Every structure is written in C-alpha cells, then in structure tokens.
Structure 1
C-alpha cells in the first residue's frame, strides 16, 4: 500500500471535468457497468479520457463524484479493477499502475477500506510472439558481472568505478507493485533488423516496458550473487529458472578464484550452454589477459569441456559450436566497450534452448500481495502457455493437496500480457488463494492435470566435493527447480565418497513438492556440493 499520497492529492486537486483526463468512481461492478450496452459507452468515455491526457488517464476509485473520500472494501476494489481492465481493453488501452491508500476510520471506528489511483495508458497489452532468451550470470564478487550487464542493457560505457552497475542493484522500491516479476535484473532486445534496443535508465519501469514493446527478440539476465556465503542464492538463480545460457565472468586482474570454480561447476553440472567473458581487460596488459585465458581453458578442459576463443574463431563458429561441451570465450571491457558488440551479436543470434511445447507448468520463485489485485506468484514458465482467465492448480500445499485458482492477469517486465509461454519471466496474479498460502517451490499446472505430491524420490548423484564420506542420514539442502529444502540422503550401499557416482533415496524434511523423473538438482551442505538426477518418485 502506498504511503506518499501525492498522486492521489494531485488527481483530486485537478478534479473531474468535461474533456479532462481524470475520472472519479466510487466503484465499478460487473453486474451494473458491463450490462445492457454500458461497456461500450464506458469504454468510449475511457478512450476520451486517455486521448485528453495525451495517452494517459487517471481513474480515482473509492471517491464520490465531487472527489470526497468514501473508501471501498478490498473485494469491491478487486472487482472494480477487473471491470476497469475490461473497459481498458475495449478502448485499446491497459492499466499501467495502481496505487492504494488506507482511508481513516469513521466516527464509529469502522474500517472504510481503501482509495486508489489507477493509471490507464494508451495501447493494448503486449503481444509476446517474439523470441526471448534468458541468460543466467555467474562469477566472483567484484569481477564485473553487474557492470558488464549494465553496459549491455544501456549501451553506456562504465566510468571505471562500476557506475553502470548501480542501475542493476535490486532495491525494495523495484518491487513496490509486486506484479513486476522482475526476477531478471536486466533486459534488452533487438529489433527486426537486428539492431539493439536498450534502456537509457533501467530503474524506470517505462524504459523496460518500452524495450519489451519495441523488440522482436528479448534477452533477460537473471542475477546471481558473487559472494561465497550466498552460494545458495546463486544456485537458486541458476537451477530455479528456465535458463537458455550461462554467462560466467572472470576478471582479467584477478583471474579464476574458488568461487569461479564453484559457479563453473554448477553451470556445467546443470548442462547449461555457457559463455565465458573475461572482464576488465582494460585494467591489465595483453600478457595478463592471455594468462587468465589459459587458466580458464585449463579449468574447462579439466571439466571435459572445449574452450573456443571467439577472437580467434569468430562469432559464426561460436554460434554453430556452442553446446554443453563447447564454451566460447570473449574478451570484454565495460570501460572501453571491447567485446560488447561481440556479445550483442551472440545474443541476437543464439537459438533459444529452453522451449517446451508441453502442458503449462511453472514453479513459483517469489510471492507478493498487491492491494486490489491479491496474491501474485512470479517465476519462469517451464513449459506450455498460460492465459489470463485460465483455471489452474496450485500446490502442493503442506498436506500434499493442490488448490484450484484462476489467473487474474499476467505481467512481464512491467507490461501486462495476454499470455506467456515457456521461458518467459512473469508475475501471475491469482484469484482464489491468499498470498500467505503461496510459497516458493510450489507449482502452477493446468486444472485437469493429475499431479502427485512427492516427499521421497530415488536419484543418481555425483559428489563434487565433500571432506569425508556421505553416509546414511546425511542432510544437505536440495535445489530442484525453485525448491530449496533440507533433505536426508540414504545412499545405496550406505555411503558415497568424493568423486563417487551412485544411487540414493532422498527425502524432504518438511514439505512435499512436485518432482518428476529426469529433473536435475544440486545439493549442498557447507563446503560439500553435488549434482543429481531424479530416477523415480514415491508419491506422498
């Protein structure tokens, strides 16, 4: 709920007048305002307001015709927003933003609900028939990951002090609406001619929405954390999203570190096609850059991967050869912009790898509650498509059951969309559930699906690092899709040693989840890490 009432005060001060862009409504109801042809007349009125405001209209809800604060209950506000959304669509517009404020109680102390301001903008909801690749970034802290991405998405050279990084720092205000689903910390695109479409200021919602609207192809970057203590967050970013590619940064002045090796191991273990960007090449001489490249090449060959120098072999070769075994390497500098045009050409032409035309499925990564909208689940669509109005199943709940919900609306990068397909990072507003009942690791599925909640499963695992042996009852954290849950391991034969590959039974300690055969996961506990593949499941 918004605290600064400036937007509300400005709208009431401007007032509702003939030919103006402000409209006062105490409430809108489906039975009254969508019946007997009123939809057409109200849509025409809305269109007039939008045109009067040069493409933007303001609807103040919960006020009387003269601007007096009346207040409106949460359910009535939700219905009002539903009706306003339908009117906007009819008028060739869309709701761009909603702010709400609590109304002071009356003399009798009764709750008077809220008053809200909805901004309606010209233009229908976004058509997402474009390709959209999602890139997971990784690398040691201070190796220039955020700075590199900041320069890519803005086209601005860095000042040598990490200035472009500041655009990508995640602040609380970035999720003030809750419906942004901004899992990615940067987005840019390419138009029909292959020319980059960038943001001048990624902190502005309008800039991001403009990139999404103008691009024929989108590139989203999913952030990970470079600090060693937050490796869990990095794993969540790399395993929990439906990524197409990995981008590992290695600073030329520092070279590969322990964290670099950890992140590379996770990228390769999850079989994600990966690009290595050697950053900060302006800060050292050519001999040092070559030395770091040789170190990275040794790391890759040690992991049975083939490094491919883009400078030596060209972009065409990188696009043709990149896969789970061939890793292109690019020299970059966010200060001189060296290598960034090469990355542009790669991202503009690399094929999408994460497409899936099966039934809709999405694992929940974050949840929000938005006043007037309700519960919002955000994540990356794993497969299939989802549309506004679809009836879905959400779960499993703590008891293993799945609850019926309805898709109220969908947003992607601050822009409302009619539907979302596999690989899209979206926020889905849900009807029929409280935000408190939605948690990360749950899944959204078609209503006619017959999902089974799983507490235990069998897996084939590889121990990447462990100081001693893994015995019966070993308790790591398992990262599978967006699930991050403590589990117990019960290895076949009683133990697993570092470097071993073997079978184990895995049991979640606290909640059941949707687990399917063939899914890959990462497990960790302290300095111990490993990867696995689900081989069979045991329904709850």
Structure 2
C-alpha cells in the first residue's frame, strides 16, 4: 500500500477531460471489457489518453465516473490490472507503475493509480551480466559499486555507499525483484550509462530500458557472522562473474579467504579489485598485490595483474583458473574506467539453454497483484501467461500456477531469460505457500522432489574428521537446509575429497545432477557436486 496519496489526489483533481490523459474506471473485467468490439474500443480510448499526455496516461481504478472513490476488492483490482495490461499492449503501450491505497482503512477495498507509458514492454534479449560482489566488511565493496553505478567519486567517507542502502518499504510496495545491489549499463559504443539516484525506481527502469548492456551487482555481506548470507548471494544466484574487493590498507583477511574460497570453489570466473589505493603508499599497494597473488597461487589459480598485461588479456584469459587483478580508488576514480571496460566487454557466461527453471529467493505479497516470487532465472525463458509448477512442498507435491506479469529492476517485461533477476507475479498460489528454495518449472515438466542424493565432496576446513551422521547446512541454488552426511569411506579429513550420501533432514527439494553446492557447520566448510539423485 502506498502511504502518500499525492498521486491519487492529483489525478482526482485533474479529472476526466475529453482531451486529457486521465481515465476513471470502477473496475475492468475479462468477460465484459475484453469482448469482441469492446476491447478494440477501449484500446483506442487508451491510445488517445496516452497521446494526449505526450506518451503517458493515468488510469484510476476503483472510482466512479465522476471521480468518487468507491474502492474494489483486491481480487477485482488484480483482474482490472490484467485487463488494463492487455488493453495497453493492444494500444502499443505498457503499464509502467501501479500504486494502491486502502479505502476507509481497507474496509471498502482499494483504489489504485496505474501509469501507462507509450511503447511496448522491454524485450529481454539484450546482454545482461550479473556480478556477485564479496569482500571483508569496511573494505570498500559498497562504495566501489556505488561509484561504478553512479559514475560519482566517493567523498572519502563512504558517501556513495548510501546510494545502495536497501529501502525496506520499496520491497513492500513494488513487484520488482530488487535482489541486486546496484545496476548500470552501456550504450552501443560501450559508454557507461549511470544512475543519478539508485533509490528511484524510475532511474533503474531507465537503465534497463535504454542500455544495450545491463550489469547487475548482487551484494553479499562482509561480516564473518553472516557468512551464510554471503554463501546465499554467491551460490543462490545465476552469476556470470565474481568481484572480490581487498582493501589496500588492510590486506587480505580471514573473511577475504573465506569469500575467495567460495567464489573459486563454485568455479565462478572472478576479478579481484584492490580498493582504497589512494590512502596508502605505492609500496603498500604493491605489497598487498603480491600478497593477493600468493593467495591465488595457493588456491591453484593464476593471477593476471591488469596493470601489467592490459584489459585485452584480462577479457581473453579470465576463466575458472585465471583471475584478473587491478587497483582502484572510489575517491580518485582510478581503475574504475578499467572495470567499466571489463564489464562492457566480458562475455556472458550463463546461457538460456534448456527449459525454464528458477529457484525462489524471496517472496512478497503485493496488494492488487498477489503472490510474487523473485530470483534469478537459471535456464530457459519465461513469458507472461506461461503455465508453471512451483514446489516441492513439504509433502513433495507441486502447485499449478500462471505467470501474471514479470518485472526486472522495476521495469515490466513480457519475457525473461537465463541470468535475469526478476519478480514473477503468480496466479493460483498464496504468498504464504511459497518458500525460499522452491523451484518454478514448466507445467509439462516432471520435477523430481529429492530427499537424498549422492555427491563428490571436498573438505576445506574441519577441526576433526567428518563421519557418519555429520549434520552441516547445504547451500545449493537458493536452498539452505540441514542434511545428514554418510561418507562412503566412513570418514573424511580436512583436505580430503570423497563421495558421500546426503539426506535433507526436514523436506525434499528439486535437485539435479551436476549442481555445485557449499556446506557449512560452525567453522567447518566444504564444497560438493551432486552426482546422483534418488
């Protein structure tokens, strides 16, 4: 629900005029307003309103013809938005934003304002990189990304970090999946397109709409107690690259090593950026650079200093084994042009082969829209109107649902492909029935609810030995669940690799062979690959 009624009051005050851009509707129904002849007439009316408003029209739903606020039930409002979306599409326009308010405290239903803009909804076949950021707290990760997406130097006090603070009310009021920490893009010539104010939904939508390449950053948490959240950000999203930051004044820490281990264990091509290079001497920068190079070699990776080898070499050589390394400063902006060039040229690593699949990361209930599941599309494509299955539930069953609408970065799209961070409004399920770790797949698919599976494991750290009945938490896609481990050889020691059977303790999940995962319990950590599902 929107608290500020200024938009509604302004629309009611302007009222309906013959040549105006405001239209009042008490409600819209499929049976009446999409009937033959009626739909064409209403689409023409909508087109007239859009043209009268220089490309933008305002539809107030839940009011009488004379502007009296009547209010309608949320279900009726939801149907009205579906109908309005189809009318807009018919008229060569799209719904850009919807805001709702309760009438008499919600007792008489809701009233809403839909903003209609000229032009079809965004096609999603453009190049879209998703980058997972990691690094120790206070190493300048948020500040670096803030300066990248805004093109603004930091004030030395982390000022650009504030651009990226999560606003809880934005989560509650919007449909969009705001999983990413920031977004910016590039035009056809590779020139960066920055956000003026990342807090504004319209600013993010503009980037997604106009850029030829979009770069989304998925943030992780730098504090050691929240390593689980970091694992979620790195393992649970369809990432193309990792960006690990190391502060030049502090150097690599235990958390740096933890985050690097997770990035490399999941075979994610990674870039290491030394930050805060403006606050230390050149000698200290070189010292930390050598320390990071030793750290990478110790993990059987090849460091590639961009300052010595150039951007061309970094673009050509970056892989699961070759890690580009560069120096940066968000205050002086040194190195950020290099990052810009990298992100404008790096190839996308995730592709849309296979049938549609998306693991649910977050859920919302949006008034007038209903249940929204957000996450990163793992494979395939999804379109508005698609019939899907969501699950498994605790008993292993799946629920039939329909895609009502899709948004990415507050911009409505008619289709989304692998790698897209999206919010999908679903018809046929309540938000309370959706849980993180569930999966969305086509309705004609045959998803397999898995309770136990076999895997190849590598133990990265453990104080003793891992034996029968060991119970860590497995982080696979967006699944975070306790399992019992039964090593085939009876036990595993730190540094060992071996096979084991893992069983979810509480409920089944959709698991596939070949998926990588991280397991963790206390200070114990390891990685694995699913080899067989039962």
Q: TM-score range by the shorter chain?
A: over 0.9
The correspondence for 1:152, drawn from 143, 148, 171, is 148
Question: Partner residue of 1:220?
Answer: 216
Question: Partner residue of 1:278?
Answer: 274
Question: Partner residue of 2:427?
Answer: 431
1:117-164 CA-to-partner distances (Å, cap 9, x unmatched) read 212122220122211111100000110111111111111111111111
After superposing the two structures, state which structure 1 stretch, 168-177 or 426-435, moved more. Answer: 168-177
Question: Partner residue of 1:441?
Answer: 437
After superposing the two structures, state which structure 1 stretch, 114-123 or 372-381, moved more. Answer: 114-123
1:499-531 CA-to-partner distances (Å, cap 9, x unmatched) read 111111111111210001111100111111110
Cα shift at 1:396: 0.5
Aligned residue runs from structure 1 range 316-395, under 5 A: 316-395=312-391
* Structure-2 separation of matches of 1:186 and 1:111: 38
Question: Partner residue of 2:139?
Answer: 143
Question: Partner residue of 1:22?
Answer: 22
Question: Partner residue of 1:477?
Answer: 473
Contact 2:2 2:173 in 1 (8 A): no
Contact 2:273 2:325 in 1 (8 A): yes
How many pairs align? 534
Other structure's SS at 2:120 match: coil
Cα shift at 1:111: 4.3
* Structure-1 separation of matches of 2:210 and 2:69: 39
1:324-361 CA-to-partner distances (Å, cap 9, x unmatched) read 11100011001111001111111111111111311111
* Structure-1 separation of matches of 2:206 and 2:8: 26
* Structure-2 separation of matches of 1:203 and 1:171: 8
Cα shift at 1:386: 0.7
* Structure-1 separation of matches of 2:369 and 2:212: 30
* Structure-2 separation of matches of 1:391 and 1:281: 52
Question: Partner residue of 2:67?
Answer: 67
2:515 aligned with 1:519 = yes
Question: Partner residue of 1:257?
Answer: 253
Question: Partner residue of 2:304?
Answer: 308
Cα shift at 1:468: 1.4
* Structure-1 separation of matches of 2:166 and 2:525: 28
Aligned residue runs from structure 1 range 206-217, under 5 A: 206-217=202-213
Question: Partner residue of 1:529?
Answer: 525
Aligned residue runs from structure 1 range 183-262, under 5 A: 183-262=179-258
Question: Partner residue of 1:78?
Answer: 78
Question: Partner residue of 1:291?
Answer: 287
1:79-100 CA-to-partner distances (Å, cap 9, x unmatched) read 1111110111122221112122
Other structure's SS at 2:163 match: helix
Question: Partner residue of 2:49?
Answer: 49
2:34 aligned with 1:38 = no
With normalisation by structure 2, the TM-score equals 0.98
Contact 2:436 2:479 in 1 (8 A): yes
Q: Deviating runs (4+, > 3 A) in structure 1?
A: none
With normalisation by structure 1, the TM-score equals 0.97
* Structure-2 separation of matches of 1:256 and 1:70: 61
Contact 1:178 1:376 in 2 (8 A): no
* Structure-2 separation of matches of 1:4 and 1:186: 26
Structure 2 stretches lacking a partner, 5+ long: none
Other structure's SS at 1:281 match: coil
| CA RMSD in angstroms, aligned pairs only | 1.3
1:399-423 CA-to-partner distances (Å, cap 9, x unmatched) read 1011111111111111111111111
Aligned residue runs from structure 1 range 487-502, under 5 A: 487-502=483-498
Other structure's SS at 1:41 match: helix
Identify if the C-alpha distance between structure 1 residues 55 and 386 changes in structure 2 by more than 3 Å, giving closer, same or farther.
same
